Amino acid sequence: MSPRRPSLWRRILFGKEAMPPEPPQPASEPQHLGSSDEVFLAKLVADLADGKRRGEIGEPEVLRCIDGLWTSGHERLAIEWMEKLLSVPEVSAQATAPLRAALVERYEQRGELDTALPHLERLVGDERYALRAHYLLAERARKHGDHERALRHYEAVLGRDVDYPNVRMRVERLRALAGRAAPVAGETIAAGDVVGVQAGARYRLVRELGRGATGVVYLARDIELERDVAIKLLHPHLAGRERADALARFFHEARVMASLRHPNVVAVLDLDEASRRIVMELAAGGTLRDVQRERGPRTLRRAIERHGQILSALAAAHRRGIVHCDIKPANLMFRRNAELPGVEVMLGDFGVAHLPDATGRAGARTEAVGTLAYMAPEQRRGEVSAAADVYASAVVLFEMFTGHTPWAREAVMAGARRADDFWLPAGVLAGAPELADEIQHHIMRLGDPDPARRPTTAQALAESQRLRERIIAAGAL
């Protein structure tokens, strides 16, 4: 800003030389936002954009500032700030969940659940907020007249809390409208209230182990044989007449899984269609995902051993014309502590497996199912064959070596796949430098984007076994 020129009268009275100095001009005041809460939030957004303070987005101080705006009557402004914070890219779902849950409650208070729908759909995947999210999704669906969707979400609520206010009454009313039978006892059991509940005369439920799209898995006690087992109770919404095909398919897959009888496939011990119950051997050692999270990447020798066991299970399935379609660490389990000698990995969860048709072949085009980070390029297009499982086994092997998949989230969503994605960091192969080229060649062949260039499951298994023998001979860990 240029200095002010002296006025004409000042120049006449004092002259150019004798004129007293101009008084100092006050400094311009900085521009502030409307409140200290907004100042804090604006600074947080700026820092998040610079990659800083990523873990603070759902902290109590942030929620306190939002509450300050809300209680002062600026409801829309509070919501705008929350949406702005949640739009910052590359912040983990774990960090944003508390803020997302608070935003959903604000929308609900304003009667704007339709606007909250994308946030609710993300919160159902977080067990801290899944109960409330399912309930609000059910309420929204009921008000829109979507009884099927409402019933599904209400049943998910009962699966977590059998005493949730008004839900049981609404489930019974919606079941009557849909002409469905009442759920079998034990199917909608609260996650924290299962001890001593009977799943038939023979099995006593102990605690919940996990939930999936088709049912809930519990640790249970087989009273007759005095052993621990895993019991999967199917979600009640799969019992309706209109879902009969899905139910029949599930039990057919369970029978196929039982017929494999392979040491690297989870054993199915009992089926009861009337109770919609599947009894399986207990994977007391947890999953490969659990092991990797707790202990990090596997050693070279251990990774190749597990890889061979996975391929052995796949070879047995592929000989029967079954394509698993969802090979990933969460579906690979251990009977006991994975670090104990002789404990092998087991393949489980054939819930989306592609079964052979009447000719015994499993190569037809179908809808794309599976987990994106482990799906072969052709699987994303709905083309299913044994080669897709071989590709997924390469992704799992890379993850065992390094602790992460070969690609970033953006590449997963874009579906870009290249053979050099499987190029291993030099440090991974340092334990067996003389075998580095051979190991690298093996994983890149299995992960070739072109299924025609991948080895068959049997060939991949033979290569893996040879590598294991050579690693042992070289004394690598």
- The residues assigned a catalytic role are 326
Q: Give the bridge partners for 383, in sequence order.
A: 365
How far is CA 44 from each of CA 52, 58, 61, 78, rounded to the nearest angstrom?
9, 11, 11, 14
**C-alpha atoms less than 13 angstroms from C-alpha of 90 in its C-beta half-sphere:** 9
**C-alpha atoms less than 13 angstroms from C-alpha of 346 in its C-beta half-sphere:** 27
**C-alpha atoms less than 13 angstroms from C-alpha of 276 in its C-beta half-sphere:** 26
What's the rounded Cα separation, in Å, for the pair 101 and 186?
30
What's the rounded Cα separation, in Å, for the pair 404 and 398?
7
What's the rounded Cα separation, in Å, for the pair 311 and 292?
19
> Helix (H, G, I), strand (E, B), or coil: what is residue 99?
helix
- Amino acid present at 347: L
How far is CA 234 from each of CA 21, 148, 218, 237, 418, rounded to the nearest angstrom?
88, 17, 11, 8, 39
How far is CA 28 from each of CA 3, 6, 31, 36, 304, rounded to the nearest angstrom?
14, 21, 9, 20, 68
For residue 289, give the H/E element and its range. Answer: helix 288-295
